[in-house]
Chains A and B, each alone.
Chain A
Amino acid sequence: MSTIRVDSDRCQGHAMCVTQAPSLVDVDDLGFAVIIGDGTLSTPEHHEQAERAVACCPEQALHVEDES
């Protein structure tokens, strides 16, 4: 199973990821990215959203962790 993670030291709250992966990432009250639930990518749609969210972050604060 793969999971999407946010590195909160890097996130500056551009909120680009939220537009690409609305079912995986949300913003908190300060505007920083938070992962919805445990971030597990359980559908092909999740994988696609996660890939786009990782790609669009200007701070490179998101990544996908692969576990077999």
Chain B
Amino acid sequence: MTDTPFDHLEIALQADASDRLSAEREKCPVQHSSAHDGFWAFLGYEHVGDAARDPETYSSASGVTIPAHAFPMALPPIEADPPLHMQVRGPLLPRLAPGVMNDLEDDLRAMVTGLIDEFIESGSADLAADLSIPFPGMSIGKLMNVPDDDVAMLRHMTAHLMQNSTDTDMIMQAMGFFQKLYEDRLANPAEDLPTAILELEIDGEQIGNEQFLAIMAMVMMAGLDTTANAAGTMFELIGANPEVRQALIDDPAKIPQAVEEFLRYATPLHASGRTTTSDVEVEGCPVGAGDKVLLNWLAANHDPAEFEEPDTLNIERFPNRHFAFGTGPHRCLGIHLARMQLKLLAEEVLARLPDYQVDEASVERYVGVTRGLSSLPVTFTAGTTAS
């Protein structure tokens, strides 16, 4: 029998990924893999959490994807350590705080309503391609405070990029768009995220054009696949669990807590990488300075040491201290936007197509940095448009 090395990407593609990760965790919660040039996989809740909260030992500056991504530069704040990390993250926090997201709620809901209007009369749709994938790009457009025409353009551009992440023409087009945004905010500063990025100071000096583009691209990319796949997996889980669906239809106030459970269960950003800065011993394993470490959020989120019956979807779960948004200083900056988007999507879909049925044979899964669905075909009782 050949011993195939542990590969989180191959596992994350499977519908039963969390079971397979649990089997690996039971064998060994910290294990070395020879895949992707070698790395240590951390699979238990405690080890993953401790490492994520210790950026001095577990550095993000050399990249947080295993294998490494294709960008020629590090992308802060996600690929930065203290003190640079907080210089970038700190000034962005107020622009992504809960109160700011509450102010966006009506605009974001109108986007969801509009997307559902496009298919509600037909009785069938692809809840991934027609809803979960376009909505995050549009939301990011709102967050960037760009005109409606640009939101429409971003919808198509981001959806295309999510499915063709190496299309260099489209990447150049995105960079051109950010460049225009840079020049515009330079001339007309506003109370918005692009201006906050523009005004960032690193070691006392305002950032330049190139750094603006890198940070802008990082923030945008972080908010696309993640949210799209969180939404897709949420709709798949609702579709597969009739009692959950009924509970949320009967009492939509339960949706926010249920969203946390969908996130724990599916963990669309399934793992993040680190590089050690010194020799450490973890679970008896000699992790050497400069080694790659994989923090497997999905495995941690199904660890019975932290979660009772981790493989049961329980929308009443309490407490639910999941790591779907990470933990420690790199905790997802878009957490409040993502929660708002998922809440609105669940509310509107359950109000307007509550009886949707998933065509399970046609569901298409994909895995990159995130795991989720590129296609989730459904049928439902046709309804009428909202406008």
What are the residues of chain B within 8 A of A55 when measuring CB–CB?
318-319
A15-B336, A58-B327 are known contacts. Are A31 and B93 too (CB-CB below 8 A)? Answer: yes
Whether B331 contacts A13 by the Cβ 8 Å rule is yes
Whether B318 contacts A56 by the Cβ 8 Å rule is yes
Number of A-B residue pairs having CB atoms within 8 Å of each other in the complex: 52
Interface residues of A in 25-68 (CB under 8 A from B): 27, 29-31, 52, 55-59
Whether A56 contacts B320 by the Cβ 8 Å rule is yes
* A interface residues, tally (CB under 8 Å): 17
Q: A19 within 8 Å of B by Cβ?
A: yes
Whether B323 contacts A31 by the Cβ 8 Å rule is no
Q: A12 within 8 Å of B by Cβ?
A: yes
CA–CA, A16 and B49, complex, Å: 17
* B276-292 interface bits toward A, Cβ cutoff 8 Å, 1 = contact, 0 = none: 00000000000000000
Contact of B325 among A14, A18, A30 (CB under 8 A): A14
What are the residues of chain A within 8 A of B96 when measuring CB–CB?
31
Contact of B331 among A14, A18, A19, A52 (CB under 8 A): A14
Q: B5 within 8 Å of A by Cβ?
A: no
* B91-110 interface bits toward A, Cβ cutoff 8 Å, 1 = contact, 0 = none: 00110111100000000000
What are the residues of chain B within 8 A of A59 when measuring CB–CB?
53, 327-328
Closest to B328 in A: A12
What are the residues of chain A within 8 A of B331 when measuring CB–CB?
12-14
Whether B98 contacts A31 by the Cβ 8 Å rule is yes
Q: B252 within 8 Å of A by Cβ?
A: no
Closest to B339 in A: A15
Whether A13 contacts B321 by the Cβ 8 Å rule is no
Closest to B325 in A: A14
Q: B155 within 8 Å of A by Cβ?
A: no
Contact of B335 among A14, A29, A52, A56 (CB under 8 A): A14
Whether A29 contacts B99 by the Cβ 8 Å rule is yes
Contact of A30 among B53, B94, B323 (CB under 8 A): B94
Whether A30 contacts B93 by the Cβ 8 Å rule is yes
CA–CA, A16 and B319, complex, Å: 10
* B171-212 interface bits toward A, Cβ cutoff 8 Å, 1 = contact, 0 = none: 000000000000000000000000000000000000000000
Sampled A-B contacts (16; CB under 8 Å): A12-B328, A13-B97, A13-B335, A14-B335, A15-B335, A27-B99, A30-B93, A31-B94, A31-B97, A31-B98, A52-B319, A55-B319, A56-B318, A57-B321, A58-B321, A58-B322
Q: Which 4 A-B pairs have the closest CB atoms?
A: A31-B97, A12-B331, A58-B321, A30-B93
> 14 extra interchain contacts, Cβ-Cβ under 8 A, other than A12-B329, A59-B328?
A12-B331, A13-B93, A13-B97, A16-B260, A29-B94, A30-B93, A31-B97, A31-B336, A55-B318, A55-B319, A56-B318, A56-B320, A56-B321, A58-B322
